[in-house]
Structure 1
Amino acid sequence: MRDVYRSLLTALTGVLALWLILSFWPLSTGSRVALSLLVMLVCGVMLWRQRRASQARITAVQEMVDEKLPPEDFQGAVILVCGDNAPLFVSGTCHRETRQGWYLWVKDAEQLPLFAQHLSLVRPALVSQISVMLAVVPEQHTSGDDFTPSLRGWQRAVVQCRAAFGTLPPLWTVTWVSPPTACSDAEPVWFTVAGQRDGIQVYQPGQGNVSLMEWTRGTGSDGRLSRLSQGLWLDSLLAWQNNTVNDLLSVRQGELPGMKPCVQGMCMVPVNGIAGNLWQQHIASVTALPPDAVVTTESLPLPELLLPALPRRRGVSRRMVFWRYAGLLGGIFLALAMLASWMNNQRLIRNVGDHLALYHALTGTPVAPKLRAQQRLRADGALLDDWARRGEPLRYRLGLYQGLRLVPPVEAAISDWAPPPPPPPVIKKIVQGPKTIRLDSMSLFDSGKSELKAGSTKMLVNSLVGIKAKPGWLIVVAGHTDNTGNPKLNQTLSLKRAEAVRDWMRDTGDVPESCFAVQGYGESRPIATNDTPEGRSLNRRVEISLVPQANACQIPGKPSASSQDDAS
């Protein structure tokens, strides 16, 4: 489940990074594409590595079945039992559950960091409740040369747990030794040394903890002599404990820091020992009378009375850890987005300010540079006005938009100057080109004839209303035919038809014959194809044009063309 949250955090980081790159940071298109691809590649590699690490961790701790672990809502202490832990567990079991604690058997020192990592991943809410108990049973060791490296190995493993827990877990030691022979049938006696209490405390069932002095002076079912002998036994045990265990743990060696147990417990209870063990060697060095080795099949009692003295704090669930990291990512994203928004607004202010500065620096002479600067300001004003109506882009938002305060100076600058009006156009006298009127020959003449048909007068009057004789202009009448028939006859027919129209205009308008020029082109100047009836109909035509020509069309009673304007 923790792996899922880690994958979600990685994906969330990628999404926020892409959003920041594509929507906020002022980057070019190429830079955005490159950074987006880089972010996706990094997130993909991280997801792949997380999956590989998860599979490797599952393989490394395949012996740690989750059913052996405490539930997520377990409120007691979670103890990783190291050292001489075999006598504490029934053969074939890896954990023991009590009302106050959950004891987990750790196979060896190499497995402890993996176990810690596994617990931090599958039970993160219990991390603050986890402690490491170093079980010491000197009656199961015969050589100090073997016992010391084993103790160092466990110390190194505890230090390596820092990577999983974020800090060194609380370390406490519990030592079990067989009591004196005279007290072998008595109840187990617990002696404790806690950091917050002075001296050695002795636990008495039903009475709780009392000081060692009160316990020695008191009387009980076990008798005063028995307590005195146990006290002497305790002094020997403390001497061995300090010389063999505490001094070894507290001295720094290389990269291993010195470690002081937060709680120490010593229990006098029959322990299944081996001949010539360390405890016998120690007692023999003090009294010259080694105690007998005890044979028992009972499991050693658990140090339940020491659990209240362990440091504890409230744990954090996987969901809480996820939301904490998600909140942290959101805060970082918001900070970077606000920074990018501020940079974009500063860039906008700088660009518009540069345009205003250039605009005010130009005098307007010449006009073109000032006009271009004004057009840029108009474009800036239109953009700012559009953002004011429709909302500014996301990269300028987050409460940092500065465009509204740029609108007044831009509008004022645009209004304080206008380009000078263009100079009046130079009026030149031009000569109007020929005005051509095109008449359909079939509407005026019968086929193959050159005499005007009856009824054609009205069409001629309507068509030639704009053709008026005036001095200096020549009325050109040109006749055209299609390519049907003999070309020479067609040319003669076109000329005669032009003459017929000329004669009608001359007689009707009382225009001198000198105002006319008659031409017959026959089929030489078609305006459409002669391959279709429609094209041939368009080619059969009479065209009338006004062409300027000096000293042409002398109308009686009017001055000559040389004394008049040409045209306008």
Structure 2
Amino acid sequence: MRKSVILSVVLHTLAGFAALLWLLWYFMPVSNVFKSLATLMLAMLAGWLVWKNYRYRVQQTNGSDAFIELPLLDTQGPVVLVCGDALETIFQGQPLRKTAQGWWLHAGEVGELTDMVRSIQVQQPRQIGQLSVMYVCLADQHQDEAVLRSALKTLRQQIKQLSALTGFTLPVVVSCEFSGPQTPWVIVRGNKPVVCPANESPQALIDWQQTQENLATLPLLSQAFGFIRETLLDELDKADRLIPPVRAFAVALRLGATNTDPAPQSVWSNWLFRRTCLQFPCVVSANDPASRFPDAILPLLAPFAAPVQGGQRTRRVVFLMWLCALAALGFSALNNRNLIREVGADLQRWSAIPMNHYAPKAQSLVALKQDALELERWHRQGEPMRYSLGYYPGQRLWLALQQAIDTYVPPPAPKPKPVPKIVRLDSMSLFDSGKAALKDGSTKVLVNALVGIKAKPGWLIVVSGHTDNTGGVQLNQTLSLRRAEAVRNWMRDTGDVPESCFAVQGYGDSRPIDSNETPDGRSHNRRVEISLVPQADACRIPGEKPASPDVRDVSTQEMEK
């Protein structure tokens, strides 16, 4: 087996495998797991096809009795496979006959046509497109019309098998020779019979019959045409449920010596006698072997004969590639439709959310920005293959997204929560050393310092007392608490503020704001602090609603002394 044959199989398999992978990985909207499994299965299938074809070729070359060793068919013209009657006599023992316009190849019996073509397909696959078939019928050699029709039915079966093997129908030529006055070959293609005398230009039958000698053979030629039409062509054109009819490409016939011993009471002699009562002796003569071939058929076959690369296998791969291309177009349209749906769903969700719903609007904005960024990246780097092939709507979608993003109004910034100011009162300006009773003259200090501290519903007035570290811890804690209570009592009694508006705390020396190592530091640590703290159930003033704990406008005043 030639290496080019198995190389052709591998190349065709790889081409089909690559086309399927291209469709699978770039266009089909399936998961990567499915793509990986499908790739593995396709690789196994490709390997199996190559191995199967290789084994088949090896068996055909080495182990099959039907394999035929053929000469190299290096012609560019038609190669006619000749089968039928008396081929050994026609070919003079040679396997083929070469002419400038084409070759005649000895194909043997009608039932051997498929084996012959299969051998050509294995050894010389390019010549498959140049093949045609010619069936030779010597009517004087047949005694039984049923046997003749059986051979024609076998020809129909072989043509059907050849069509399945090559992928196209080979042209079929019917060639017949009859006993009678000798005539040149008459070629019938369609409804125009042409006479082809040896070494002369072909001429129309109506012109050829103008001479008296040729005119005398016209009735006999008419009967020969009738025999071919009603016996041979009728059997080839017969409708059959299993075997399709065969339309003859052309018909070639001639009258004259048959170069073989005629059979007594042949189908032709019986046909002719029943219709004309004529009988012609069949004289066996040795004609020129070249005259036994209707060479005028070869120019008619030339337009239908051309070398092909790979034959049916190439056509199947090309057909598979076309299917993959069409499927890629369909999947690309489907992928772009899904892209439009996804972006459209995000845009619809954005439009459905009111502008004052800030949290869901912000989430929808994130989705729109992600879509826009992806489309921008594809615009710079090129859209993915699955969206290409002329359907990609990225620019229009990006513009729609940008228009929606530009309409976003951010929520108003929250007002900063003011830090409540603490009013600090120097204990020595209010109390005598170690005492918790307000001194005379402290009222003015309290009034000036606490002008911003007003009772408000939902706010708690916290009064906390502090001392330095002079003295015991317990004594300082008690002193600080009593001083805070003294200030609270003054505020309550002076401003007529309910008891529920106050909270009193004594911290002693636990929260210094300065060093206790110096007199100035200890002076700073001896203090009473007053501040407002939000509390929902604080300071219930009759006739006023409680303020929310989230109220931000705390009015405080800081005074240090």
Instruction: Give the alignment's TM-score, normalised by structure 2.
Output: 0.63
Shift of 1:326: 6.7
State the alpha-carbon separation in 1 of the partners of residues 113 and 68 from structure 2.
11
| Residue 523 of structure 2 is aligned to residue 558 of structure 1 | yes
Selected match of 1:36 from 39, 60, 74: 39
In structure 2, do the counterparts of structure 1 residues 547 and 382 end up closer, same or farther at CA, with 3 Å as the change threshold?
A: farther
Q: Does the 8 A contact of 1:272 with 1:294 survive in 2?
A: yes
State the alpha-carbon separation in 1 of the partners of residues 218 and 389 from structure 2.
73
1:101-180 correspondence runs (5 A) = 101-119=102-120, 126-127=127-128, 129-177=130-178
State the alpha-carbon separation in 2 of the partners of residues 385 and 473 from structure 1.
68
Deviations 1:235-284 (A, max 9, x none): 77566555653444444455342645622212423512166362796478
Give the root-mean-square deviation of aligned CA atoms.
Answer: 4.7
In structure 2, do the counterparts of structure 1 residues 417 and 98 end up closer, same or farther at CA, with 3 Å as the change threshold?
A: same
Selected match of 2:68 from 64, 69, 75: 64
| Residue 55 of structure 2 is aligned to residue 88 of structure 1 | no
Instruction: Give the alignment's TM-score, normalised by structure 1.
Output: 0.62
In structure 2, do the counterparts of structure 1 residues 151 and 564 end up closer, same or farther at CA, with 3 Å as the change threshold?
A: closer
In structure 2, do the counterparts of structure 1 residues 5 and 413 end up closer, same or farther at CA, with 3 Å as the change threshold?
A: same
> Counterpart in 2 of 1:257?
245
Selected match of 1:420 from 412, 418, 431: 412
Greater mean alpha carbon deviation, residues 38-47 or residues 236-245: 236-245
State the alpha-carbon separation in 2 of the partners of residues 344 and 231 from structure 1.
72
Shift of 1:205: 4.3
Shift of 1:168: 3.6
Shift of 1:46: 3.9
Shift of 1:83: 0.8
Deviations 1:37-59 (A, max 9, x none): 44434444444444455445546
> Counterpart in 2 of 1:303?
293
**Secondary structure in structure 2 of the residue aligned to 1:318:** coil
Selected match of 1:17 from 17, 20, 23: 20
1:332-351 correspondence runs (5 A) = 332-351=323-342
> Counterpart in 1 of 2:186?
192
Alignment-mate amino acid for residue 76 of structure 1: G
Alignment-mate amino acid for residue 86 of structure 1: E
State the alpha-carbon separation in 2 of the partners of residues 389 and 214 from structure 1.
78
Deviations 1:385-444 (A, max 9, x none): 4444444433334454433334444445445321332453474899xxxxxxxxxxxxxx
**Structure 1 unpaired stretches of 5+:** 181-187, 219-223, 431-469, 475-511, 516-545
Deviations 1:189-228 (A, max 9, x none): 424141356567362544654747855845xxxxx6xx79
> Counterpart in 2 of 1:394?
385
In structure 2, do the counterparts of structure 1 residues 269 and 75 end up closer, same or farther at CA, with 3 Å as the change threshold?
A: farther
> Counterpart in 2 of 1:266?
254
Deviations 1:77-129 (A, max 9, x none): 321111112321233x3222223331111222332133334546665655554
**Secondary structure in structure 2 of the residue aligned to 1:30:** helix
Shift of 1:176: 3.3
1:489-508 correspondence runs (5 A) = none
**Secondary structure in structure 2 of the residue aligned to 1:81:** strand
Selected match of 1:352 from 324, 343, 360: 343
State the alpha-carbon separation in 2 of the partners of residues 292 and 365 from structure 1.
112
Deviations 1:481-529 (A, max 9, x none): xxxxxxxxxxxxxxxxxxxxxxxxxxxxxxx6879xxxxxxxxxxxxxx
Percent sequence identity over aligned pairs = 21
Alignment-mate amino acid for residue 108 of structure 2: K
> Counterpart in 2 of 1:508?
none
State the alpha-carbon separation in 2 of the partners of residues 260 and 318 from structure 1.
23
**Structure 2 unpaired stretches of 5+:** 423-464, 474-508, 532-561
Selected match of 2:369 from 362, 378, 392: 378
State the alpha-carbon separation in 2 of the partners of residues 315 and 120 from structure 1.
15
Q: Does the 8 A contact of 2:260 with 2:284 survive in 1?
A: yes
